[in-house]
Amino acid sequence: MFSKKTLLLVVVIAMLAAVAAQCGAAPTPETVTVVQTVVVTKEVQGETVTVVETVEKEVVVTKEVEVMAPGKFDNKVTLHWNLGTEPPTLDPALATDTTSVDLDRNLFVGLTDFDPVTGDVSPMLATDWDVSEDGTVYTFHLRTDIPWVHYDPKTGETVQVTDADGNPRFVNAFDVEYGAKRTINPDTASDYAYVTYIIKNAQEVNTGEDADGNPTELTLDDVGVKALDESTVQFTLENPAGYFPAIAGMWVLRPQPQWAIDAYGQRWIEAGLIDTNGPYVLDEWIHGGNMRLVKNPLWINADDVQIEVIDMVMIEEASTAFALYENNELDTTGVPLPEMDRVKADPQLSKELRIAPVPCTYYYGFVNTKVPFDDVRVRRAFSAAIDRQGLIDNVLKGGQIPATSFAPPGIFGAPEPGTVGQGYDPELAKASLQEFLDEKGMTLDEFNSTYDIVLGHNTSEGHAKIAAAIQQMWKDNLGVDVRVENQEWKVYLQTIKKTTPIEDEFHIFRLGWCADYPDENNWVYEVFNSEAGSNRVRRNCADPNCEETTGPSKFDELTAAAGKEQDPQKRIEMYKEAEDILAREEAAYAPIYHYTSVVVTKPWLTRNYPPLGGADFYNWKIDADAQMAAMGK
């Protein structure tokens, strides 16, 4: 239980002009602006409600200022990396975005891993695994030599974590069971818990409802995850799923440190508190500013990890990051859209440029319960009015593939691009919107003034340019006016959740989806199925805020059945039909393009481009002498 009044203090310190330049300086009074987020109860129209207020005030505090000894990371092999945004979390149970996933891959070990080149599943924490004859029980056998570690940012010391009796902690099957069940636990509020629904009873426990919509009587003890002993963990599935070893390696099923989570609650992921088990440890996290990882000397393969420090900034503007790259302050980065032609023509930058397909899709989601996008004719009009190839040729210029359906090439079950779904068709777009207007007895001007349509995207120069181009396409092809708004990434992710009050939601939102594992189940089912997926577009919702669904549609039944089907050819046919229903018949969203990676990398950095699982910094190499020479050091 929480008290009626909870204070979360975010302290922004205005440092004095002069600070003692050695450790152990005398306590110094400082003016501190304290922003208090206060949860209180109030009387509102005769009812007691809980509200959140933010108040700001200045106070004077005495603070011990410890100045880091100069040169702490001098002469360390250092990767300079741009995160692109503030990471929403480092908690494996709560991560939903690529920024958080990249970090989690380097901080926490999974049961399995993906080969950075082929994407094939390979052993990691698990040395091997057995599958029952019916394909529903997976038994993983674990290595027992991976230590849990704690890093002290003040001393720079990494030590092995010990239990209450002083025994060293190694990652074990009970940590895996705890991590999986913590993700599934509805109290954790994991937005990615739906990935675990292939596990026996996970969906019922996570949603709190049985198949008939009644309150469940099951508990976490009934979930099909069980540590048989310290080196053996067993998963029981709802149905056979040959792709489960890939799911088993995902961040949501990684071992988690119960003792640290119990001790610090939500703060357990902060520098100085977090316990980890991967190739790197967390040295610093200045929210909204920068982050630093350092090599874990106790990692099982520490001798193979060449990069010792990863200095990361959180720059959202691609042009600013690119300027840092050109000044040798970043070792690799994406190319801003306005710079594409120059980079391709530049004799040096063109050598550093790499363009290659990646298993991701860029799309616009229509909120299917927000008028006028609760009408399929409006959704179809907005999707068909997007000139995908024109966007690629004139704005993106990175060899992207126009998308008419969701899953990209390389994903099992994905249809060939352009063969199903919805592409550019301006005549269809105009006819669909006109049919809607005629039925409503509205003019185009009345449509624009009545609905005030808003397209939302997370803050990014690239997303802004894409939005501006598509905004103009909608104006040219349909005559509609669309406002464009942007939000910081962490805030944006909350806004586009299907539980956000409809009045606070955009009509249309930008999002990308990248493969967690190479199967269509991870695409049409886990993203759009109204019964089990994330369903941000609010398909089949019985009310605007999607508190209830209208029951499974043909698409829902088809994608659920395809995940259980054991005949590969039948699965391919079922997914092809499902993709067409989603993009063309329902027009639930607008597929726009399948990604390419458009990245420049300095010649002193040898890196890979893993198609799945996130960036594996521990496999990268740097020619430190060449790097230092370029930086003038």
Whole-number pLDDT of residue 70 = 54
Whole-number pLDDT of residue 420 = 98
Annotate 284-342 with DSSP letters as a single string.
EEETTTEEEEEE-TTSTTGGG----EEEEE----HHHHHHHHHTTS-SEEEPPGGGHHH
Task: Choose among 495, 540, 515, 484: nearest CA to 613.
Answer: 515
Query: In angstroms, rounded to a whole number, what is the distance separating the alpha carbons of residues 122 and 285?
Result: 31
Residue 509 predicted with pLDDT over 90: yes
Task: Tell me the backbone φ, ψ of residue 237, rounded to 5 degrees.
Answer: -100, 160
The answer to whether 598 and 340 have CB atoms below 8 angstroms apart is yes
Give how far Cα 115 sits from Cα of 55, 97, 128, 609, 613, Å. 49, 20, 15, 10, 9
What tokens appear for 223 in the block?
């979930």
Task: Choose among 546, 517, 515, 533: nearest CA to 578.
Answer: 533
Whole-number pLDDT of residue 547 = 86
Could you tell me the pTM of the whole model? Answer: 0.85
Average pLDDT (386-413) is 98
Confidence of residue 413 (pLDDT cuts 50, 70, 90): very high
**Domains in the chain: boundaries:** 6-63, 78-311, 357-596
User: Is residue 415 exposed (0-12), middle (13-18) or buried (19+ Cβ within 10 Å)?
Assistant: buried
Confidence of residue 74 (pLDDT cuts 50, 70, 90): confident
The residue with greater pLDDT, 464 or 43, is 464
The highest-level CATH class for domain 357-596 is: alpha beta
Annotate 49-95 with DSSP letters as a single string.
EEEEEEEEEEEEEEE---PPPTTTTTTS-EEEEE-SS--S---TTT-
The answer to whether 376 and 586 have CB atoms below 8 angstroms apart is yes
Confidence of residue 552 (pLDDT cuts 50, 70, 90): confident
Average pLDDT (422-429) is 98
Alpha-carbon Rg for the chain, nearest whole angstrom, is 26
Helices (H), 133-287: 173-184, 202-207, 244-248, 258-264
pLDDT tens digits along 392-405: 999 999 999 999 99
Confidence of residue 307 (pLDDT cuts 50, 70, 90): very high
User: Is residue 217 exposed (0-12), middle (13-18) or buried (19+ Cβ within 10 Å)?
Assistant: exposed
Query: In angstroms, rounded to a whole number, what is the distance separating the alpha carbons of residues 515 and 559?
Result: 17
Whole-number pLDDT of residue 56 = 46
Whole-number pLDDT of residue 484 = 98
Percent above pLDDT 90 for the chain: 86
Strand-pairing partners, residue 160, are 149
User: Is residue 17 exposed (0-12), middle (13-18) or buried (19+ Cβ within 10 Å)?
Assistant: exposed
The answer to whether 35 and 7 have CB atoms below 8 angstroms apart is no
Residue 125 predicted with pLDDT over 60: yes
Whole-number pLDDT of residue 365 = 98
| Lowest model confidence (mean pLDDT) among 3-7, 214-218, 219-223, 617-621 | 3-7
pLDDT tens digits along 10-65: 323 333 333 333 333 333 344 444 333 333 444 434 444 444 344 444 444 333 33
What mean pLDDT, rounded, does the chain reach? Answer: 90
Would you give the distance in Å from CA 217 to the centre of its chain? Answer: 32
pLDDT tens digits along 211-229: 888 999 999 999 999 999 9
Strands (E) in 494-543, as ranges, are 508-514
Q: Can you tell me which residue has the tokens 């025994």?
A: 167
Cα 388–Cα 394–Cα 397 angle in degrees, nearest 5: 90
Percent above pLDDT 70 for the chain: 89
Whole-number pLDDT of residue 62 = 39
Average pLDDT (535-541) is 96
Residue 609 predicted with pLDDT over 80: yes
Query: In angstroms, rounded to a whole number, what is the distance separating the alpha carbons of residues 312 and 78?
Result: 10
Whole-number pLDDT of residue 59 = 43
| Lowest model confidence (mean pLDDT) among 51-60, 259-268, 379-388 | 51-60
Whether domain 78-311 has CATH 3.10.450.50: the reply is: no
